[in-house]
Every structure is written in C-alpha cells, then in structure tokens.
Amino acid sequence: MKFDIMTLFPEMFETFKHSSIIGRAADKKGIIEINTVNIRDFSKSKQKKVDDAPYGGGMGMIMTFQPIYDTYLHITKSLDYKPKVIYMSPQGRVLTQKLAGELSECEHIIILCGHYEGVDERLIEEIVDEEISIGDYVLTGGELPAMVLIDSVARLLPGVLSKDECYLEESHSNGLLEYPQYTRPEMVNGRRVPEVLLSGHHENIRRWREEQSIKRTLKKRPDLLGRKDKF
Ligand code: 4G3
C-alpha cells in the first residue's frame, strides 16, 4: 500500500517512516511505501509563497490553490487510476478502528496536511475525496494526524504485525476495551497476579478476561457499549 503525503514539513515524517513496526513494514518488508512531497517545491512565486490572507478579511493565512494542486498533479500524472485523497482536518469524519479498517482496503492514499487556518476551499472541492479528523481538538498542522492515520491503517495490513503483535483481543477490535494483562514477576510491591491467570484453566481464563473487558468498558468508556461502528 502506498501513501503520498503533501506537506510543508516533510522532515517531520523522517523518523516515523523508518522507526518501529512502520519502519520495518516499509524498509524491510516492503508492505507499505511512504513518500513525502514538499508543497513549497511547487510554488510558482519567486519567494516560494504558499499562503495568503483570507478574502473577506480576518485573522490567519490560508494555503493557496496553485502549489497544492500542482503537487497533486505531480503525484498523479502517470497513474491510470485515481488514488483516494484525504485531507486531515478538524472538520472531518472522526477516525475510528472501523474507518481505519475501511482505508486498509485502499491501494494508494494521498494525504494533504494543512497548516495555518486551512486550505482554499476549492482544493477540497477539486481534489479531496474525504476529510478525516483524528479527534475533536485543533493542532498546528495535519502532519501528526497523518502519521496517526497511517499507523492505524498500516498495522491492519497482512504481515505488518508479527504473530506476537497481532493478537485479536486488543482494545476496540471488538468494540470493547482490552482486559488487564500481567507478566513476570508474580508479585510486585505486594500486588499479586490474579490467581485465575496462573491456574492454567483456559476456559476460566477466557471467561475472566471477557468479564474484565465488559466491566472496564462500562467503567471507563460506557459510550462504546451503545455504538454501532464496531470493527
Ligand atoms: C485544517 C487536523 C487543517 C483546518 C488538522 C487546521 C487537527 C486535526 C488544520 C485547520 C489540524 C485533527 C491543521 N488539527 N483533529 N490542524 O485531525 O483549522
């Protein structure tokens, strides 16, 4: 799966692209490809300008049409299909495990990262297929949201997670929170591992974990229990 990122700050992605599970999936396994394209390289103004004041007045700067549109044309010029174009924006559909699963079916995704007060609305009309938000808060740019989206999607692709990493009982994968987990030693600061986990009785362990998942979700995230967008 290929990700092209349109951004003014490609350097923000350098560590992300090459680290941990994402780095291994890209560099060693070749399951994903992550490319950044610097929008400023496509500015036609002599000072490499990429933003301007809003029509109608008001605060802040808006990213202009031309550099972003030319970046998009550069990425897509030799393709015989249309990749999905996503704009990271506080106004978008909120990213959930279900949406990450849907996006993992895509072969090629282009992500537009905005800065300042956003981009000229005509870019959204002209090139954007879907506006996505990683949550109801505002950041200085769409770069961190883009990395969150890529991470959530890439880890669902076959082969990205190792056998140890890809347990199916994690939080949100079944609409519930994960049960509590313990590892050695059996006792720390006077706190023992729950007895049932040491019993070797697999059916009792399964029932205990299921009960813990439901109790925890009720206590920590009761909003999840009534939701229909379970993955
Ligand atoms: C567009 C995404 C982009 C308009 C982007 C600010 C938060 C998210 C930006 C705008 C962002 C998010 C850049 N902040 N919740 N900042 O996914 O006002």
pLDDT tens figures, 156-174: 999 999 988 886 668 888 8
- Would you state the structure tokens that stand for residue 81, as one six-digit string? 């299909």
Q: What ranges make up the beta strands (E) of the chain?
A: 2-7, 33-38, 51-52, 62-63, 84-94, 108-113, 130-133, 187-188, 191-192
Distance 178 CA to ligand 1 centre (A): 29
Q: For residue 203, what pLDDT is reported? A: 98
Residues lining ligand 1, CB < 6 A?
Answer: 88-90, 114, 117-118, 133-135, 137-139, 141-142, 145
Q: For residue 167, what pLDDT is reported? A: 61
Distance 172 CA to ligand 1 centre (A): 24
- Would you state the structure tokens that stand for residue 96, as one six-digit string? 């959930």
Distance 61 CA to ligand 1 centre (A): 14
Residues of the chain where predicted confidence (pLDDT) is lower than 70: 167-169, 230-231
Q: For residue 228, what pLDDT is reported? A: 72
Q: For residue 38, what pLDDT is reported? A: 99
Distance 137 CA to ligand 1 centre (A): 8
Decide: helix, strand or coil at residue 43: coil
